[in-house]
Structure 1
Amino acid sequence: MLEILRRIVQEVNGARTLDAALSIIVRRIRKAMQTDVCSVYLRDGQRDHFILMDTIGLNTAAIGQVTMRPGEGLVGLVGQREEPLNIEEAPSHSHFRYFAETGEERYSSFLGVPIIHQRRVLGVLVVQQRDKRLFDEGEEAFLITMAAQLAGVLVHALSTGELARLNDAESQVMLSGIAAAPGMTIGEAFVVVPPANLDAVPERVPEDVEAEVLRLREAIDCVRSDIRRAAERLASRISAQEQALFDVYQQMLGDAALGQEVEKRIREGHWAPWALARVVQRHVQYLEKVDDNYLRERAADVRDLGRRVLSHLQTESEERSPVYPDHTVLVGDEISAAQLGEIPREKLAGLVALRGSSTSHVAILARAMNIPAVMGMSDLPLSRIAGTPMIVDGYRGRLILRPEPELQGRYESMIEEERSLISMLESEQSLPSETSDGQRIRLMINTGLAVEMSGSPVARIDGVGLYRTEVPFMMHQRFPGEQEQARLYREQLAGFAPLPVVMRTLDIGGDKSLPYFPIEEDNAFLGWRGLRVTLDHPEVLMVQLRAMLRAAEGLDNLRILLPMVTTFEEVETVSRLLDRALEELREEGLKVQRPLLGIMIEVPAVIYQLEAFAGCVDFFSVGSNDLTQYLLAVDRGNARVSALYDAFQPAVLRALAQIARDSRRLGVPVSVCGELAGDPVGALLLVGMGYRVLSMNAPNLSRVRAAIRRASLSGVRELVDEALSQESLVQTRALIFERMEAWELAHLLPHRD
């Protein structure tokens, strides 16, 4: 039976269409179980009906015609109860419903099992026989196992097949992806394609090596110019922080990055296109293995740059300027920041990408420009949607093709409400972040890029709560030296001075290895990472500490933050290394001061050691994302369990409240950086717990500020007390959103169903 199971799943996995997959299922299962009938019913999510999609044994004319609601008929009963049903004489069962078109009056015994994927019923698998008998335990176990095995492979075939079928019609299609940038828009699809194919470059020996090097340099210069022009077109629409994303592109193209490595390959005897393709593919393959979302998305940036350089190498002809619709929804496999900059801003309405996530560069830019974006639309058929009218819902991560008039009207109303809200938020940008009864809350930003901030943005924030120093390390082919790091850190510190900048020491290992420092881990999240790595390599940590201190000379706004702390001894060791770095630099004649030193609270064990840590550090910073993940034992990147990841779980809220209480008792300042701090509801709960410093991604600042200004400290304290007394996530969320409605703050929250 195991071999039969394996073969059936393998065949279904290889099916090109939904219909082919269903045909394989019913025929192979009927043969394996030697039954008279095998049928598969799939659930239509929009109408909430189970539809007979394929059968062998019943009349084929019934396919697509027989439908049952949950609880209706034996099939509907299986789907409603989400458990098997094994009956000796089906027609005598109280839920039996007769469909004349099926011809099933000839069959007596019935065995139906639900097909469930991630707690969602996809359909029902049924076998029937003329003989009046119960299916035995072995047969029932086989069909249950078959349904469980098929659920994972069927879900992809189901979405792909239904989409292909619906695209041939004029009906509305609703698809789900990843909410990458908030907002809603209605527009027309404009499909973009990669400028060149890196996977199709042939290998050749160059006739003239120097000529190939010159070709490469000219192609890189052309791409540099393209990116510079794209950045200039967007300059008035985005802040200096987002503008720095284009600087990252320029750095990737620099002599010390891609260009130098490609030249080396050329001089080894390869022509420029092949050398470029190999270098880009090596970087992309490495980055795609990284388990950190922000860093993994850099693979898309490197791939896009490689394609652009290759395009210039392959042809000298200029492309004709495309004609964009007035309300363009840019759709592509991977959309780059450079492609985004090529479209007139007044025509760009939304973004949709088959790949990518909320941490991609283009998502960051989309949020900065208030352009709704949905990523991860892997089943979208690019070849068939050009010019299709669509709604992009960046709050729900939803894409609606060919919306019906009623639904389009609803979205038009919501979009108008959204415009009014944005206008209100913009008018409050420069107002202080304080509650209605006068409690000041410091709002800071998270960043991973060196930026120069103009006076206006600085006036609206209180500093940088988290600077990810691993980004510069990712942009090199070796560990960057002390002077290189110091230059980057100085730009960041000077750009925000005199506001504080919290720099996290190198956070790599396990899930975030470097190309020149590979690490293989069986369990990345519980392995060799963060401070554990840099303490095992003090030579790397010392260079970074010296670079930070050197960069901060005369500015006095540096704060150093240690990631993945678990034990008191780890912090003691870093403190000694920091003192040594200070002494060395002072001996070199630098006037450096000891910066404040803090730890990230993300490992649950630290919660119970705060008293010990209070004696050796100056501040605490709660990493709410990882703390939630570790408290709930949920890998938030694993689709099977990611639904369990929720920072509003009672256990997480109680842990956060305890940290706030203990920090206050110990007299140690504490902040929160992570997604919870950037959620208006989460921010209010944190304020009610006693947190006075919140750090978040810059696009979240305005909503959080508006929520804080409209709530009272006494009110949010009362809300926290009630929330902490709830027993379940459902109860907690119901209480919170009921209170938001009562406080007339629901309009500040992302639109929810």
Structure 2
Amino acid sequence: MREGTGRPVFSGVAIGRAYVYRHQQAELPGSCGDAAAEQKKFDEARETARAQLTELFEKTKREIGEEQAMILDVQMMMLDDLDYLEGVQDMIAGGASAAQAAHETGDAFSAAFAAMDDAYMQARSVDVKDMATRLVNILCGGKTGFSMEEPGILVAEDLTPSETVQLPKDKILAFVTRQGSSNSHTAILARIMNIPSLVQAQITLDDELDGKMMIVDGFEGRYYIEPDEATQAAMEKKRDEAQAYRQQLEAYRGKPTVSKSGRKLKLFANIGNPDDVKYVLEGDAEGVGLLRSEFLYLGRDNFPTEEELFEAYRKVVEGLQGRPVVIRTLDIGADKQVDYFGLEHEENPALGYRGIRICLTREDIFRPQLRAIYRASAFGPVCIMFPMIISVDEVRRIKAFCETIKAELAAEGVAFGEVELGIMIETPAAAVLSRELAKEVQFFSVGTNDLTQYTLAIDRQNAKLDEFYDPHHPAVLALLRMIAENAHAEGIWCGICGELGADLSLTETFLEMGYDELSVSPGRVLELRKKVCESEV
């Protein structure tokens, strides 16, 4: 028996045969004397790649959701990157073949992205390499795709975005990759598919591994190859217990979320786009506590119109069948960049021009979004939440603008409903000023991810700082208590929409602090409800 470790990205136990996934390596032709002919080949390959990616985009959107499909849209935009195209053209003019130029220019650009300090730009390194590899395969007749004869565990060096969306998802029991991170495409897909998976695994990808029996323990972050009888029996028992636990959670479907002492809590879900509403209903969430509006702006080459935004919001509101939705206004910036916004490069984008700072200085962006949200409120209960607040003045400016929007719609005879206004508390400034801010709004929702990184002065995207990043830090917990107390002192409700909301070790702490609502991934709702119902707090 061989065993090793990796970073778990989704819990559970998977048992099956290993399938080693290897990238197809095309045979690269060297130099070529006819530059015009090679340039023509490259241009034709680009159009073929664009058609392939468009087809994959639609397939991914149908099967997984629009948010995940956007990774392919990014690659389609990269096919038109002028710097990349000029680099290829220069190499071909110098005598290189089209495939060689596409490959080497892609490698150079990928390395340049990987060397950047910004985590978002580093992540684009994989997209560039994936796009270039596709072009090379088209030019050289290389094969793409992967098949599995029976359900099993996929083991790979890493998986590119387009590879993950083409995989036979109905047969994959788990992922194990040597590279990747908790925010990689592989990790995101694993969480969507609810399968145990490991990234950054200490494993050797040799041919002998292919077909061998393998076990992945997503609880402990371990894998076993050709397990002995004792390990096999122990892991089968652990897997059966995990499945039985999930079945037990069904007993809490439809139940009120109330502790034994009578403390009532609302359990909402975080989503990224209208297609995710089905997961809200499947997870038995009581509403949506965070709709991330920025995903309606990603993967495009121009701003969505008011009508497009309205249709997306209306689809969510109607799909929730009377459940409330809290829509966060645009939070572009930091780790979410969009070229057509024309934002300048920043040395520290997490502390830069992002969130409400863009909206308050770009009425052309803010106005259509607010009009669309208010229009959607005519179809069901809607709240609006504003991100990255640091002052009372900002909130008053926002409220005044909302009144202007409402007056416009009323004058036009456009229907809209009653909309609660709230703010995200994710900066230490907002936490400290929470008593004053509570006088201006109707609710708070704490973004614990950013609140933690700003309080501890630690970049949460930097893996080197994982040992220092502590969301349970006494300073963070002290701010969380202060926020809830100040909200209630002014008679407004207060929730948590960050990752910490799903931390079962803190559920009773949040109950004791007095939080009214927790908004988490849809798949965590029943587990959290069980924890609350069993609590003595």
TM-score scaled by structure 2? 0.81
Work out whether 1:451 is the aligned partner of 2:275. Answer: yes
Q: 1:391 to 1:540 in 2, by over 3 A?
A: same
| TM-aligned CA deviation for residue 676 of structure 1 | 1.3
State the partner residue of 1:174.
4
User: Are positions 1:572 and 2:401 aligned together?
Assistant: no
Secondary structure of the corresponding residue to residue 418 of structure 1 = helix
Partner of 2:295: 471
Deviations 1:163-213 (A, max 9, x none): xxxxxxxx634233x321111223333122345779999998665999987
Alignment equivalent of 2:408, drawn from 573, 584, 593: 584
Conserved 8 A contact 2:28-2:140: no
Q: The residue matched to 1:570 in structure 2 has which SS? A: helix
The residue type equivalent to 2:483 in the other structure is: I
User: The residue matched to 2:501 in structure 1 has which SS?
Assistant: coil
Question: 1:386 maps to which residue?
Answer: 210
**What SS does the corresponding residue of 1:676 show, helix, strand or coil?**
helix
Whole-Å Cα distance in 2 between the matches of residues 186 and 387 of structure 1? 12
Q: Is it true that 1:608 corresponds to 2:438 in the alignment?
A: no
Q: Any conservation in 1 of the 2:147–2:168 contact (CA below 8 Å)? A: no
Name the stretch that deviates more: 570-579 or 455-464: 455-464
Tell me the equivalent position of 1:53. Answer: none
Assess, with a 3 A threshold, how the Cα gap between structure 1 residues 307 and 471 changes in structure 2: closer, same or farther: farther
Question: 1:688 pairs with 488, 507, 512, which one?
Answer: 512
- Report the Cα offset of residue 543 of structure 1: 3.6
Question: Taking CA–CA contacts closer than 8 Å with sequence separation of 6 or more, which of the two structures ends up with the larger relative contact order?
Answer: 2
Change (3 A) 1:577 1:451: same
Structure 1 residue 475: Cα displacement? 1.1
Counterparts of 2:432 and 2:146, CA distance in 1: 62
Residue pairs, 1:399-410, within 5 angstroms: 399-401=223-225, 403=227, 405-410=229-234
Which residue type is aligned with residue 598 of structure 1?
G
Structure 2 unpaired stretches of 5+: 93-97
1:185 pairs with 2:18: no
Say how many residue pairs are matched: 525
Mapped pair 1:350 → 2:174: yes
Partner-residue secondary structure (3-state), 2:301? coil
Alignment of 1:57-96 (within 5 A): none
Bigger Cα Rg: 1
Q: Which residue of 2 aligns with 1:121?
A: none
Residue 472 of structure 2: aligned partner: 648
1:453-481: CA deviation from partner (whole Å, max 9, x where unpaired): 35982681122211222223331234444
Q: 1:537 to 1:207 in 2, by over 3 A?
A: same
Matched, 1:701 2:522: no
Q: Could you say which residue in structure 1 is the equivalent of 2:374?
A: 549
Contact 1:191 1:386 in 2 (8 A): yes
Cα gap change, 1:339 to 1:537, in 2 (>3 Å): closer
Q: CA deviation at 1:623?
A: 0.8
Change over 3 Å in CA distance of 1:291–1:229 after alignment to 2: same
After superposition, give the CA deviation of every residue in 1:612-663 in whole Å (9 maximum; x if it has no partner).
2123212111111222222333333334432232233333223222222221
Q: Deviations over 1:564-615 (max 9, x none)?
A: 1111111112222222233334444422346322111111222232232123
**Is the counterpart of residue 411 in structure 1 residue 241 in structure 2?**
no
Q: Quick check: 1:508 aligned with 2:508?
A: no
Is 1:617 aligned to residue 441 of structure 2?
A: yes
Distance 1:559 1:707 in 2: 27
The one-letter amino acid paired with 2:362 is H
Partner of 2:95: none
Could you tell me how far 1:695 is from its partner in structure 2?
0.5
What is the alpha-carbon distance in structure 2 between the residues aligned to residue 278 and residue 564 of structure 1?
Answer: 39
Instruction: Classify the secondary structure of the residue corresponding to 1:474.
Output: coil
Residues in 1 aligned to 2:319 and 2:111: alpha-carbon distance in whole angstroms: 31
Superimposed CA distance per residue, residues 451-508 of structure 1 (whole angstroms, 9 cap, x where no aligned partner): 1635982681122211222223331234444344334333333333432222222223
| Structure 1 segments unaligned to the other structure (5+ residues) | 1-170, 236-241, 717-753
Asked if the contact 2:146/2:168 (under 8 Å) is kept, the reply is no
Q: Does 1:634 align with 2:458?
A: yes
8 Å contact 1:469–1:505 — kept in the other structure? yes
| Residue 63 (structure 1) aligns with | none
- How far apart are residue 246 of structure 1 and its match? 5.7
Change beyond 3 A, Cα 1:666–1:224: same
Give a deviation string over 1:710-740, Cα, whole Å, max 9, x none.
22xxx23xxxxxxxxxxxxxxxxxxxxxxxx
Q: What one-letter code is carried by the residue in structure 2 that aligns with 1:489?
A: Y
Contact 1:676-1:683 at 8 Å conserved across structures: no
Answer yes or no: is 1:442 the counterpart of 2:266: yes
- Identical columns (%): 28
Corresponding residue SS for 2:519: strand
Q: Is the 8 A contact 1:433 1:705 kept in 2?
A: yes
Alignment of 1:131-150 (within 5 A): none
Q: Is the 8 A contact 1:187 1:391 kept in 2?
A: yes
Contact 2:281 2:320 in 1 (8 A): no
Is the 1:292–1:512 Cα contact (8 Å) retained in structure 2?
no
1:536 aligns with 2:361: yes
**Structure 1 residues 666, 284: closer, same or farther in 2, change over 3 A?**
farther
Distance, in Å, in 2 between the alignment partners of 1:499 and 1:280 is: 48
TM-score of the superposed pair, with normalisation by structure 1: 0.60
Alignment of 1:192-271 (within 5 A): 192-194=21-23, 220-222=50-52, 225=55, 242-245=64-67, 247-248=69-70
| Alpha-carbon distance in 1 for matches of 2:268, 2:30 | 46
1:214 Cα deviation from its structure 2 partner: 7.2
Q: Secondary structure at the match of 1:677?
A: helix
